[in-house]
Structure 1
Amino acid sequence: MDKQRTHFGYQEVPTEEKASRVADVFHSVAARYDVMNDLMSFGIHRVWKRLTLERAGVRPGQRVLDIAGGTGDLTLKLAERVGENGRVVLADINASMLKVGRDKLLDKGVGGNVEYVQANAECLPFPDNSFDCITIAFGLRNVTDKDAALRSMTRVLKPGGRLLILEFSKPESQVLSKIYDEYSFRLLPKIGELVANDAASYRYLAESIRMHPDQETLKGMMENAGLERVEYQNMTGGIVALHRGIKL
């Protein structure tokens, strides 16, 4: 594809427009995002995130960056694990999502060890070698230049640091893939219309999943960004995959 154009779901749009279009989607869905997550995944997203936390191996006193952290599900648990001497930065490009996340965490009593930063994953505003661990859950597929984002994340990781990417991926069986397509394109926009009064945004989210690199392609992209010992684990039949790489 021409570098001046990129995908927005199944549409082809000017590259410089994608970020603002994605922003419009998440401004629209921010207030109902948590409710929709539970409905869309039947609550299974909590299991996926729990496994991500276990694989992150975060310890007290460490510095962690949660990119596209949205409403703060991972940040909340990461903050508990790093303790009062550690630090978690919840970063999101979208101000509406960041506000929802900050309000939710403050309501839950999360305080001094969490920082909130509006940031673009492609050009993170942090010094080299800043973080022991970086997580990004269901955010990479919305990034315009994924290779630039992976390089940026690798740059701000400390040597020995870990990047974990939790993202929708490619189902392992054709039968599951067909069922998943029916659900995504027929049922999901209807749920979005009923709950969030926004069918179009949820149609985009379904399309963006299909345009995201498959498991092996993403593994290769992480290696090209400079990460080592990259591996992935399929969950729920490959509907979701957890990739993990280390900066040596």
Structure 2
Amino acid sequence: MGLGDDYVKKVFNTVASKYDMMNDILSLGVHRLWKKHFVEDFVRPLPGGKYLDVAGGTGDIAFKIHDLIKAREGAFGITPGLGEGTRIVVSDINESMLEEGKKRAEREGYFNVEWVCVNGEQLPFENETFDSYTVSFGIRNFSDRPKALREAFRVLKVGGVLNILEFSKVTCPALSVPYDIWSYGFMPQAGRVFADEESYRYLVDSIRAFPDQETFAQIIRDAGFGYVRYESLTGGIACIHTAVKVEAKPDVKEEKPFKTEQPEGEMPKPV
């Protein structure tokens, strides 16, 4: 489990304006390649789809989905511009993170993206709304991950796909010691320069406390998903988890969305 929502909000209020830089530091810039692989080879967005990116504050994944859909519209002979039926929603519990995303959207022309400030464990959407649910480097910060995954299951349509990109457990022995030195030596020092040491130490500790690949895959299965697979990246430093809502469970079908004031392709091989 993560820490309380208030503490997590405080951490991300501190790092919001430097969040993308922070990911560069945490991953030595490799997160850009991971995200490209994540969106192009796992999310695989198509025109007309409904996409929800949770804990997506700064909009990085949503913008990549947006760009790929526009490119594919052109390939399909559709006038590029997110045609009728396509919907991209970014949700985040932290308003400061969303503000950074909105600024970038305005600056770079992403005018068709929706922004919702909401707890990912209590989504305001109706059952079976989305074709795709993504979360990138955010699931480890949830206070109740199983609950968040049950919400993901609820808002996905039958046949909808869950894709999660997250830091994970190093599986390559040669990387283990260097990664420890980087995480516990350099990272807190970097925090003094870019934000504050406490926030960066939390981010490192949250990575180390996150379940290993197979344990988290089982948590996804327990939420009701089928075809659960994962792919370790860069020796296990990160991992992509993917799963499908094969059928609706009766107990989930009867749940109601939480209220808020704000308004397929080939699967990866089993590991």
Task: Output the TM-score relative to the length of structure 2.
Answer: 0.83
Matching residue of 1:182? 181
Deviation at 1:132, TM superposition (A): 0.5
Identity %: 44
- Paired residue secondary structure (1:122): coil
**1:4-23 maps to which residues of 2 (within 5 A)?**
8=3, 18-23=4-9
CA distance, structure 2, for counterparts of residue 226 and residue 7 of structure 1: 21
Deviation at 1:84, TM superposition (A): 3.1
**1:50-61 maps to which residues of 2 (within 5 A)?**
50-54=36-40, 55-61=42-48
CA distance, structure 1, for counterparts of residue 133 and residue 106 of structure 2: 22
Deviation at 1:79, TM superposition (A): 1.8
CA distance, structure 2, for counterparts of residue 74 and residue 37 of structure 1: 13
Alignment of 1:64 with 2:63, yes or no, is no
Matched residue type, 2:153: T
The C-alpha deviation readout for 1:132-177, integer Å capped at 9, x for no partner, is: 1011000000000000000000110011110000000000033422
**1:1-248 maps to which residues of 2 (within 5 A)?**
8=3, 18-54=4-40, 55-82=42-69, 83-85=82-84, 86-111=86-111, 113-196=112-195, 198-248=196-246
CA distance, structure 2, for counterparts of residue 108 and residue 154 of structure 1: 32
- Paired residue secondary structure (2:224): coil
Indicate the structure (1 or 2) with the bigger Cα radius of gyration: 2
CA distance, structure 1, for counterparts of residue 226 and residue 106 of structure 2: 36
Matched residue type, 1:148: K
- Paired residue secondary structure (2:57): coil
- Paired residue secondary structure (2:128): coil
CA distance, structure 1, for counterparts of residue 37 and residue 226 of structure 2: 21
Q: Where has structure 1 moved over 3 Å in runs of 4 or more?
A: none
Q: In the alignment, is the contact (CA less than 8 A) between 1:171 and 1:238 conserved in 2?
A: yes
Q: In the alignment, is the contact (CA less than 8 A) between 1:164 and 1:245 conserved in 2?
A: yes
Deviation at 1:37, TM superposition (A): 1.8
Matched residue type, 2:171: E
CA distance, structure 1, for counterparts of residue 181 and residue 28 of structure 2: 16
CA distance, structure 1, for counterparts of residue 200 and residue 25 of structure 2: 12
Deviation at 1:233, TM superposition (A): 0.3
- Paired residue secondary structure (2:218): helix
Matched residue type, 1:239: I
- Paired residue secondary structure (2:20): helix
Structure 2 gaps of 5+ residues are: 70-81, 247-271
Matched residue type, 1:209: I
Q: In the alignment, is the contact (CA less than 8 A) between 2:5 and 2:142 conserved in 1?
A: yes
Deviation at 1:119, TM superposition (A): 1.3
Matched residue type, 2:231: Q
The C-alpha deviation readout for 1:76-99, integer Å capped at 9, x for no partner, is: 111233423311001000010011
Q: In the alignment, is the contact (CA less than 8 A) between 1:79 and 1:87 conserved in 2?
A: no
Deviation at 1:57, TM superposition (A): 1.6
Aligned residues: 232
Task: Output the TM-score relative to the length of structure 1.
Answer: 0.90
